[in-house]
Amino acid sequence: MTYLGTGNRPDGDVAGGLMEGMIQGTLAGLKDLTKADLQAVARYLKSIPAVKNKIE
């Protein structure tokens, strides 16, 4: 929820690139989602199957 609402990652890093643009948005962005909607997104993401897919 913190990540999508502010771009801050649990490891202290911040979102960059495309995801930064999605969060910041233009006239509005993901940062404007309500707490309830962020919570719903987080609950859904935790409900889908975990996939091991190491990048790089």
Q: Around Cβ 17, how many Cβ atoms within 10 Å?
A: 7
Interface with another protein, residue 35, by CB under 8 A: no
The reply to whether 1 sits near another protein by the rule CB under 8 A is no
Size of the site for another protein (CB under 8 A): 44
Question: What letter does residue 14 receive in the DSSP assignment?
Answer: B
Three-state DSSP class for residue 42: helix
10 binds another protein, rule: CB under 8 A = no
Q: Which residue's entry shows tokens 């969060």?
A: 23
Judged by the rule CB under 8 A, the positions of this chain that interact with another protein are 5-9, 11-33, 36-37, 39-45, 47-49, 51, 53, 55-56
